[in-house]
Structure 1
Amino acid sequence: MAGQFEVTTEIERPIEEVFAFLADGENDPRFSPRVERIAKVTDGPVGVGTVYESTVKDAGVRTRREFRITEFDPPSRIRWTEISENLVRTEEGGYDLEKAGEGITRVRLFNALTGEGVGKLMAGTALNAARADAEDFGRRIKEAVEGGT
C-alpha cells in the first residue's frame, strides 16, 4: 500500500444534510475537479453494495473507475473500495461525520491508495499530489455542501 491522505473540515450544516449530500456520489464533481462524470449503476437507494462508475482525469490521463460502498451508517460513516482495475487505486476511502456544535458537522475524508504492477512506482506520486491538495479538497467539500443544500 502506498499510503493514505486525509483531511478534516467543519461544515455549517446539520449532520443529516451533510451525510445526505456526501452519500450521493453524483455530487462528487461539485467538489472534485478530477471527476468528469459519475453515475450510480445499481438499483435502489444508496447503501452497502451500491456501485458508482466514474470517469476521472489525473495528470492528463482519463481512467474509468468503479467504487462499491462497503459500509453505510447514517449519519456518521461511509466507506468504499475501488473495484475497477487501475494502476493506482483506492484500497479504502471514507467519510466520518460528527456533530461539532449546533448545526455544525465535522467531516473527515480519507483515501488509502495502492499501486498495482507498475502502478506501485506511480502510487507515491499520486499520494503526494493528493496530500498537497487535501486542505483545498476539504475547502471545496465545505463550499459545495454549504452552497448546494
Structure 2
Amino acid sequence: MSTQFEVVVDVDRPIEDVFAYLADGRNDPEFSPRVLAMEKSPDGDTHVGTVFHSTVKDAGMRSQRDFEIYELTAPTRMRWHEVSHNSITAEEGGYDLEPTSDGGTRVRLFNVLEGHGVGKVLLPLAGSAARRDAPAFGRRIKKAVEASA
C-alpha cells in the first residue's frame, strides 16, 4: 500500500542554480521544518550513490532517515529512495525541473510513501497530512531557493 503527494512551484532563479541548491540535501532544513539535521556521505558533489542521513521529527517523534540518490541528471532530474527502515518510508521521491520562459525554474517535487507494519494503518493519515502541506511546502522551497542567491 502506498500514497503519493506532489507539488509544483515556480522559482525565480535559473535552473542550474535551483538544481545545485536542491541537489545538496543539506539545504533541506531551510525549507522542511520536520528535518532537524542532515548529513551527507560521501563529502563532495552529490552523485548517484550519495546518501543523505537525516534526523526528522514527525508527530512529536524523532527518527533517523537515510535517502540514497539513485538517479541524477543535471539540471533537470533527481530521484531518491529511503534506505532506512521506518514504519512509513519514501519508496521513491524526486525533483523534476524545467526552465520557464522568464528565466526561472518550474520545480515538481513528489514522494511516494509506503507503510510497513503499523505504518500501513498510519499511511492514510500521513499521506493526507503531506498532501495538505504540499502547497506550503512548495512556497517554502521557493522562498529558500530564492534567498540562497
Alignment TM-score, normalising by the size of structure 1: 0.98
Task: Give the structure 2 partner of residue 50 of structure 1.
Answer: 50
Task: Give the structure 2 partner of residue 14 of structure 1.
Answer: 14
The reply on whether 1:40 has 2:78 as its aligned counterpart is no
Q: CA deviation at 1:42?
A: 1.9
Deviation by residue 1:71-118 (Cα, 9 ceiling, x = unmatched): 000000000000000000000000000011132100000000000111
Following the alignment from structure 2 to structure 1, what is the Cα–Cα distance between the partners of residues 75 and 47? 12
Q: Which amino acid aligns with 1:35?
A: V
Following the alignment from structure 2 to structure 1, what is the Cα–Cα distance between the partners of residues 118 and 11? 38
> Quick check: 1:52–1:66 contact (8 Å CA) kept in 2?
yes
Aligned residues: 149
Task: Give the structure 2 partner of residue 132 of structure 1.
Answer: 132
Following the alignment from structure 2 to structure 1, what is the Cα–Cα distance between the partners of residues 107 and 23? 13
- Percent identity among equivalent residues? 58
Query: What is the CA RMSD across the aligned residues, in angstroms?
Result: 0.8
Within-5 A mapping of 1:93-108: 93-108=93-108
Q: Which amino acid aligns with 1:96?
A: D
Following the alignment from structure 1 to structure 2, what is the Cα–Cα distance between the partners of residues 43 and 143? 26
Following the alignment from structure 1 to structure 2, what is the Cα–Cα distance between the partners of residues 145 and 28? 10
Task: Give the structure 1 partner of residue 68 of structure 2.
Answer: 68
The reply on whether 1:147 has 2:147 as its aligned counterpart is yes
Structure 1, gaps ≥5 residues long: none
Following the alignment from structure 2 to structure 1, what is the Cα–Cα distance between the partners of residues 99 and 45? 24
Point out 4+ residue stretches in structure 1 off by more than 3 angstroms: none
Q: CA deviation at 1:124?
A: 1.1
